[in-house]
Amino acid sequence: MLRNPNINKNKTNGGLMNKLKFKLGLLILSIGLLGFVLFYPQGADVPYPEGYRGWTHIKSMILEKGHPLYDAFGGIHHVYANKTALAGYKAGNKFKDGSVIVFDLFEAVSKDNAITEGNRKVVGVMVKNSKKYKNTGGWGFEGFAGDSRNRVVKNMEGECFACHMQAKEKDFVFSEYRK
């Protein structure tokens, strides 16, 4: 059988190339991972509040056209608290880590002299973890669009916390518990 002496040579080169490619691949992967860790959107770790419809209802409110927050939060919203957050409300807005508060916003449909809930617009969430979210008053903020699990908050500090700062004296929570 005739053997082409170049075959072996090519094999060796191929092996070397593969090793180089592998190392290059690792390098790209590491850079990618580092970028991911450094630039991962803040708040992307606030979980969807599974089961919040079974939590305690704190209050509801309707923002009508003309309200300064209409564009962002116009409609009917209901606020819910998990057990830890409920204790925080009852203590006069002093919330412990593990508190989760939900702002469930719907379109307000006005028809036949009644206002009813339309489509869900957003599920807003605040999660208390004083270490993790120390830059935003100990609260992680997130919003989930409509009935989906799609996250809407890119920058919790600018989009949410900047305004919730106004409720600083009440642990950054505007709403209060009523009997």
Range 138-167, binding ligand HEC (CB under 6 A) = 141-143, 153, 159-160, 163-164
What's the min distance (Å) between Cβ of 37 and ligand HEC? 23
What's the min distance (Å) between Cβ of 81 and ligand HEC? 8
Reading across the β-sheet that carries 114-128, which strands appear in turn?
Answer: 56-63, 75-81, 100-111, 114-128, 139-145
Which of 138, 117, 134 lies closest to 126 in space, CA to CA?
138
What would the 3-class secondary structure string for 21-52 be?
HHHHHHHHHHHHHHHHHHHCCCCCCCCCCCCH
Q: Does 62 engage in binding with ligand HEC (CB under 6 A)?
A: no
Count of residues that bind ligand HEC according to CB under 6 A: 21
Coil/strand/helix, residue 135? helix
Residue whose CB is less far from ligand HEC, 19 or 90:
90
- Tokens, residue 79: 């606020």
Per-residue contact string for residues 75-114; x = within reach of ligand HEC by CB under 6 A: ----x---------------------xxx-----------
Which of 40, 75, 56, 45 lies closest to 142 in space, CA to CA?
45
| Residues at the interface with ligand HEC (CB under 6 A) | 59, 61, 69, 79, 101-103, 124-126, 141-143, 153, 159-160, 163-164, 173-175
